[in-house]
Structure 1
């Protein structure tokens, strides 16, 4: 497979089903059950798709044939430059290596996941993006607001304000338009720390309604997605998987239809057989995330691994540090010098 084909495969997997030549009746059946992207169909078996959408064998074969035909046609004409032109607006993260892994920053219409153990810095990245999304495009933002869904009482207004103040010091020309207090007020908060049912209802019913009435919001953060779902469904894994699947479908659908970027923090689960941490909530949940990163702690530094990205190979890593002003990338040499002989790298 050539490089263009490899990139094209990944890109087309995130195509909206409405862009394929599927008739309205079939498309309505798929959309009603939350299937809006090709990758979402690929994540389930034919039998599951038939059962969920009440499809006949003929309808199922028609869908598969149309997708394969369109896939082959587009691959023959797709180039890297075309893919870049089709990318939406992006939000810079303040970490250049992370921006590169994201193809230029956090992308509108996509779902990005950052995962790691508690206290590793996920919330710091989330809060940093709440500030940078507000600045003009020429400085790496979208001149927009953020919606923050907090399930762990992690959001700290005073921390947001210190990040905003440093941002304004870094770009003095912005002071005519912004102040730190106004930037904090542009972060809309939904607190949901009670149970998984409340979070499920929030995602399925309230987010889209809120965005309809607040079109200035272009970034939605869920911090974190796993906290409530890891403990509320003991003994009922089928119901848990079903609701996680429904949430994933809904989040991706909202991201594409409303042209907002989703940034979701997730916890990790240790897999003894593999000897490593993996994102919580299982493999099905991971299919709803376009890009995923794993953060690990090394003393005062954080090492971020790329788990899933269409822009760079997986397992690429970089370092950052949490400072009083926000998050800051550091060079590997700085980290090695600081913790030499510690055998942590």
Structure 2
């Protein structure tokens, strides 16, 4: 399909087009999936005009109307699967981590969330026949946990696994890391990620994975007490929808890690619960609960999925990366 310029849309003049582009709405698809209020604020126009622009963008990009199930089924074939590097884990996820979906990993400290994120950042760069997506990765690091040394170890582990020499420096060149200093900065970084993904769209390594590690750390630290809860949840909701939009526009995997809290009043069952309440629970497409086991083993439990049954997989976190136990 030929690319449509913003100026070609109804109700969009050169000045409005420039304002939209400055606000990060660089493609017709990005406008088509935004809300009138969002667009009105960004381009300094009325909400009714913004609604007309969005309608024109939806017609132009051919999205937002009703479709029959068989058409949706055909489009689902475009969804990519990113290998975790572990057979049991992949099988539990129906072949790997889905693109165009948010996969949330939660668990206590040391349960392996950041290790899985590092491994996915390496695997996404592999060719499709080796379970990768032949793309680059964006990492929004909120807890200063990204370690290039760990990437080096994992790439060296891949060289052993596949019996071919991989250059870890090449892998590091395709990992784009940004440190988020507070929750507002974290939300803004998704817009910066959109710009970067647009730049790399037609390169040999387009962005096929975005990782937020961790999603809730800043929100948890800044919004203290029940009085700020509604505000926090609203911002968290906006942030998650921005990430979902990123996944849809660039056919990328969205992986977020989440912290947990203990429920001391829970007499039965597991007292650990993920942070973020129902907002995170409803917005995440897949929820994975990671917990420690003996030695280097970790248990990964699929808690929620729209199309897969609840299941558990055991993985090993080794120096060379994630492996089957």
| TM bucket normalised to smaller | 0.7 to 0.9
Identify which of 237, 243, 249 aligns with 1:251.
243
Distance 1:30 1:207, change over 3 A: closer
Partner SS for 1:253: helix
Identify which of 283, 297, 309 aligns with 1:313.
309
Shift in Å, 1:214: 2.3
Identify which of 206, 212, 217 aligns with 1:222.
212
Flag structure 2 segments of 5+ consecutive residues without an equivalent. 1-30, 39-50, 52-64
Residue 209 (1) aligns with residue 195 (2): yes
Identify which of 294, 299, 302 aligns with 2:298.
302
- Distance in 1 between residues matched to 2:283 and 2:211, nearest whole Å: 15
Q: How does 1:136-147 map to 2 (within 5 A)?
A: 136-147=127-138
Contact 2:33 2:245 (C-alpha < 8 Å) held by counterparts: no
Contact 2:290 2:301 (C-alpha < 8 Å) held by counterparts: yes
- Distance in 2 between residues matched to 1:311 and 1:278, nearest whole Å: 23
Distance 1:85 1:283, change over 3 A: closer
- Distance in 2 between residues matched to 1:127 and 1:168, nearest whole Å: 16
- Distance in 1 between residues matched to 2:34 and 2:175, nearest whole Å: 34
Shift in Å, 1:126: 0.4
Partner SS for 2:230: helix
Deviations for 1:180-222, whole angstroms, at most 9, x for unmatched residues?
A: 2211222111111x2222112223x222112111222111111
Q: How does 1:1-345 map to 2 (within 5 A)?
A: 31-32=35-36, 74=69, 82=73, 86=77, 88-173=79-164, 175=165, 178-192=166-180, 194-203=181-190, 205-215=191-201, 216-234=206-224, 235-271=227-263, 272-273=265-266, 275=269, 276-300=271-295, 301-314=297-310, 316-330=311-325
- Distance in 1 between residues matched to 2:294 and 2:162, nearest whole Å: 31
Distance 1:214 1:70, change over 3 A: closer
Shift in Å, 1:70: 5.8
- Distance in 2 between residues matched to 1:32 and 1:247, nearest whole Å: 17
Deviations for 1:289-331, whole angstroms, at most 9, x for unmatched residues?
A: 11110011123221111111234322x212112111011222x
**TM-score when normalising by structure 2:** 0.73
Aligned residue number for residue 59 of structure 2: none
Number of corresponding residues: 261
Distance 1:210 1:28, change over 3 A: closer
Distance 1:28 1:105, change over 3 A: closer
- Distance in 2 between residues matched to 1:168 and 1:249, nearest whole Å: 37
Partner SS for 1:148: strand
Aligned residue number for residue 19 of structure 2: none
Shift in Å, 1:166: 1.4
Partner SS for 2:278: helix
Contact 1:103 1:311 (C-alpha < 8 Å) held by counterparts: no
Distance 1:129 1:95, change over 3 A: same
Moved more, 297-306 or 286-295: 297-306
- Distance in 2 between residues matched to 1:239 and 1:262, nearest whole Å: 24
